[in-house]
Amino acid sequence: MRHSFIAQNPSVLWFLLALSLFTLGVTVLSEAAGVAVISTSFVKTLGKTLCLCLIAVAMDVVWGYCGILSLGHFAFFGLGGYAIGMWLMYARTEAIVLDALAQQPLPPTPQEVSDAIGNQIFGVVGSSEFPWIWAFADTLYLQLLMIVVIPGLLALVFGWLAFRSRVTGVYLSILTQAMTLALSLYLFQNDSGLRGNNGLSGLQNIPGYEDTSQAVISIVFLWASALALGAGYVFFAWVVSGKMGSVIKGIRDNEARVRFLGYRVESYKLFIFTITAIVSAIAGALYYPQAGIINPGEIAPIASIYLAVWVAIGGRGRLYGAVIGAAFVSLLSSWFTGGGAPAVPLGFYTIQWTDWWLVLLGLSFVAVTLFFPKGIGGLFDYLVRKP
Amino acid sequence: MMNTLLEVSGVSVTFDGFRAINNLSIQFAEAELRAIIGPNGAGKTTFMDIVTGKTKPDEGRVIWGERNISLLGLSESDIAIQGIGRKFQKPTVFEAQTVRQNLAMALKNPRSPFAVLMHKRTQANAARIDAIAEQIGLLDSLTRIAGELSHGQKQWLEIGMLLAQEPRLLLIDEPAAGMTAEEREKTTDILREAARTRAVVVVEHDMEFVRRLGCKVTVLHEGAVLAEGSLDSVTANQKVIDVYLGREHA
Ligand SMILES: Nc1ncnc2c1ncn2[C@@H]1O[C@H](COP(=O)(O)OP(=O)(O)O)[C@@H](O)[C@H]1O
Ligand SMILES: [Mg+2]
């Protein structure tokens, strides 16, 4: 019944069309195409924005559709980033080390190679030992698997514990904040095995593609991000359009009633929580190679709160609303905080947007919550009136 | 006497020292229509909460079906899967969704997340939904958003959702509250029809409504059974008269 799914959700086609046009447009205007209307660093910003849109879509499903206000989904995003970052850093350091050791008269033993890589990576935290969590870092496909396995398991265990004891509402939100805070604090420690507050860096250099320019790499990641966003969007649109959508919206609106219909509410919540966590992790794994660096600050509780703000401003309970919110607010945010916005002189005081942007964002959030509960996406209701 | 479907025996519940249900014993047979009446606070809703797993009793037994399963250890959803459907005092339908979606969600089908995710619309299901919608008089409203329905229609939709679950026992809490005389009449018809193939237990205040149901009546008072029998016999019962009149003159 794929046919009826698309027929019932024309917005999915419109979205895919818009996404394709956007990606193509950016590509032909990029440095890689020789035009350079859009700088490579801005291509990366746009590619990262697509990843943020993807996690926002996941957030919308878990919050807007299922009613679970998770304030911890950026933890999964960050874990996805760390997982891919481990391979990127390992493989690149290995290449450098092998290069350096090749000058020596005697060929290096595997132990020497391993020690040298360990020294390079963990020297900053005063260690050269490989922690056990790096066990798979030398094998790309295993580490790719870790992108979904680790965050998926964390979500499964956390969700199972929380939902089973029927923690709901604001208590659940606080619990998810505690989870992301705990993870972030743990990663800040030097002996966490992930280089403490240094995090993982140099992630923009893709091992094996040292000779490929960043201009080209940025376009490849733009496409990969667009593909992931498109696939994630279609997948979630399918999930929420059918009977599953009915049940999770029912859980959002009246959880007890759904129970009396014979649905095990906890299983549904766990299912939605876990698949959205996995998609968030995939988004993170595409984001951080474009950002170049990941550190524990990325998993700070505030990041997940921003995510909720994007979705609220974009319009919750509609997937394109989440995309609009994430794109709009995150791009605006980098414009304001990056010094792009001109300061406003008031005579007695000058508004510097780098300081005042958060205030503006907070006020917008309050205004949207109070006056436009449907968010920016709600504007489409005026354009497309259903007969 | 037909087989016992549900047997509640010696059940007590205390809320903050107040005994809402006091050593209550009550039984229902397969395919029986039963009215439960009693003054406000008699424990009628709490009785339903116990049977459906919302409230755990302090003591007593709740035994279900021919295999004598104890319902006390089961969750709300598992009790529903066992075949007990419940209508709440306030109409609770999913207001953001259409009448069809409400009924489709209730329709007896596999309930696991995976089965629901892979669920496909079928002719058979559509026909069942149509039949139920016809029965509750909402056939023309299948595509309407449930939140737009009138109060009476919401009550019927909720009854329709119960029928869609195909339960063996239906617990219905004050279905006629807020209904017009005409709507009440229709509601009794729906309930009588439903009780031909399953047990239906109706809590109601309105004596006229109960009279129209024309079934055995149980009077609850202070969390226990005060009297049981035909409507005429219980209304002639001196203890029942005292309770009702006593309340009214208090
Ligand atoms: N969750 C609860 N906490 C405290 N008291 C309750 C609770 N539920 C019901 N009660 C009390 O138990 C008594 C029976 O309530 P209920 O079953 O709703 O009566 P009925 O439906 O017959 O009007 C009332 O006195 C009510 O105040
Ligand atoms: Mg009541």
* B50 Cα to the center of ligand 1, angstroms: 12
More confident of the two residues B67 and B1: B67
**For residue range B25-38, what is the model confidence (pLDDT) as tens digits?**
999 998 899 999 98
Looking at residue B6, what is its pLDDT?
A: 96
Closest of A360, A361, A344 to residue A352, by C-alpha: A344
Three-state SS sequence of B11-22? EEEEECCEEEEE
Position A169, amino acid? G
Looking at residue A130, what is its pLDDT?
A: 86
- Mean pLDDT across B111-124: 93
Residue B45 in contact with ligand 1 by CB distance below 6 A = yes
The interface predicted TM-score (ipTM) is 0.90
Contacts of B75 in chain A (CB under 8 A): 259, 264
Residue of A nearest to B99 (CA): A246
* B44 Cα to the center of ligand 2, angstroms: 6
Looking at residue A386, what is its pLDDT?
A: 52
Contacts of A263 in chain B (CB under 8 A): 77, 111, 116
Confidence of residue A255 (pLDDT cuts 50, 70, 90): very high
Tokens representing residue B221 in the block: 């008072």
* B44 Cα to the center of ligand 1, angstroms: 8
Contacts of A253 in chain B (CB under 8 A): 94-96
Asked whether the beta carbons of A75 and A250 are under 8 A apart, the reply is no
Given phi > 0 = left and psi -120 to 50 = alpha, else beta, which region is A340?
Answer: alpha
Confidence of residue A145 (pLDDT cuts 50, 70, 90): very high
Number of structural domains (chain B) is: 1
Taken as a whole, chain A contains a residue count of 387
Closest of B214, B217, B243, B242 to residue B228, by C-alpha: B217
Q: Give the other-Cβ count within 10 Å of B148's Cβ.
A: 12
* B171 Cα to the center of ligand 2, angstroms: 12
Whole-angstrom distance, CA of residue A82 vs CA of residue A78: 6
Q: Does A3 have pLDDT greater than 60?
A: no
Residue B20 in contact with ligand 1 by CB distance below 6 A = yes
Distance, CA of A150 to chain centre? 15
Position A386, amino acid? K
Percent of chain B at pLDDT > 70 equals 97
Could you tell which of B15, B47, B218 is best to mutate to test the pocket of ligand 1, judged by most ligand atoms within 8 Å of the CB?
A: B15
Contact A260 B106 (CB under 8 A): no
Q: How far is CA B28 from CA B4, B35, B95, B149, B235, in A?
A: 6, 11, 32, 33, 21
Asked whether the beta carbons of A92 and A205 are under 8 A apart, the reply is yes
Residue B178 in contact with ligand 1 by CB distance below 6 A = no
Among all bound ligands, the one having the nearest atom to the CA of B177 is 2
Contacts of A262 in chain B (CB under 8 A): 77-78, 80-81, 111, 165
Tokens representing residue A253 in the block: 């609106």
Confidence of residue B98 (pLDDT cuts 50, 70, 90): very high
Confidence of residue A387 (pLDDT cuts 50, 70, 90): very low
Looking at residue A285, what is its pLDDT?
A: 98
Q: Which residue out of A4, A8, A252, A261 would a mutagenesis test of the B interface target, given it has the greatest number of B Cβ atoms within 10 Å?
A: A261
Looking at residue A209, what is its pLDDT?
A: 93
Looking at residue A1, what is its pLDDT?
A: 46
Please tell me the residue having the least CA distance from ligand 1 atom 19: B41
Looking at residue B250, what is its pLDDT?
A: 43
**For residue range A174-197, what is the model confidence (pLDDT) as tens digits?**
999 999 999 999 999 988 899 999
Looking at residue A100, what is its pLDDT?
A: 87
- Mean pLDDT across A21-36: 92
Looking at residue A124, what is its pLDDT?
A: 86
Residue B44 in contact with ligand 1 by CB distance below 6 A = yes
Please tell me the residue having the least CA distance from ligand 1 atom 27: B41
Please tell me the residue having the least CA distance from ligand 1 atom 11: B20
Looking at residue A385, what is its pLDDT?
A: 59
Looking at residue A233, what is its pLDDT?
A: 97
More confident of the two residues B142 and B247: B142
Contacts of residue B153, defined as CB under 8 A and 6 or more positions apart, other chains included, come to: B137, B138, B141
Contacts of B94 in chain A (CB under 8 A): 246, 249-250, 253-254, 257
Tokens representing residue A155 in the block: 């979500």
Contact B105 A1 (CB under 8 A): no
Whole-angstrom distance, CA of residue A227 vs CA of residue A20: 9
Whole-angstrom distance, CA of residue B12 vs CA of residue B6: 17
Closest of A219, A233, A226 to residue A279, by C-alpha: A233
Whole-number average pLDDT of chain B: 91
- Expressed as residue numbers, the domain containing B181 is 4-248
Contacts of A242 in chain B (CB under 8 A): 117, 119
Please tell me the residue having the least CA distance from ligand 1 atom 3: B15
Asked whether the beta carbons of A159 and A270 are under 8 A apart, the reply is yes
Q: Does A339 have pLDDT greater than 90?
A: no
Residue B221 in contact with ligand 1 by CB distance below 6 A = no
**For residue range B136-170, what is the model confidence (pLDDT) as tens digits?**
999 999 999 999 999 999 999 999 999 999 999 99
**For residue range B202-239, what is the model confidence (pLDDT) as tens digits?**
998 888 899 999 999 999 999 999 999 999 999 898 98
- Mean pLDDT across A210-239: 96
Q: CB burial class (10 A; 0-12, 13-18, 19+) of residue B105?
A: buried
Q: How far is CA A221 from CA A227, A228, A291, in A?
A: 10, 10, 11
Please tell me the residue having the least CA distance from ligand 1 atom 9: B46
Q: Give the other-Cβ count within 10 Å of A339's Cβ.
A: 11
Lowest mean pLDDT among A168-172, B125-129, B193-197: B193-197
Question: DSSP labels for A295-339?
Answer: -GGGGSHHHHHHHHHHHHHH-TTSHHHHHHHHHHHHHHHHHHHTT
Closest of B87, B235, B223, B231 to residue B162, by C-alpha: B87
Among all bound ligands, the one having the nearest atom to the CA of B18 is 1
What are the boundaries of each domain within chain A? 5-300
Beta-carbon pairs below 8 A across chains A and B: 75
Facing residues of A30 across strands?
A: A38
Q: CB burial class (10 A; 0-12, 13-18, 19+) of residue A5?
A: middle
Position A74, amino acid? F
Q: Give the other-Cβ count within 10 Å of A231's Cβ.
A: 14
Percent of chain A at pLDDT > 70 equals 98
B45 close contact with A: CB closer than 8 A = no
**For residue range A82-100, what is the model confidence (pLDDT) as tens digits?**
999 999 999 999 999 998 8
Candidate from A239, A250, A261 with C-beta closest to B80: A261
CATH number of the CATH domain containing B130: 3.40.50.300
Among all bound ligands, the one having the nearest atom to the CA of B247 is 1
Q: What angle do CA A376, A379, A382 make, to 5 degrees?
A: 170
Contacts of residue A53, defined as CB under 8 A and 6 or more positions apart, other chains included, come to: A229, A322, A323, A326, A327
Tokens representing residue B63 in the block: 């035994």
Whole-angstrom distance, CA of residue B44 vs CA of residue B204: 9
Output phi, psi for A260, to 5 deg.
-70, -10
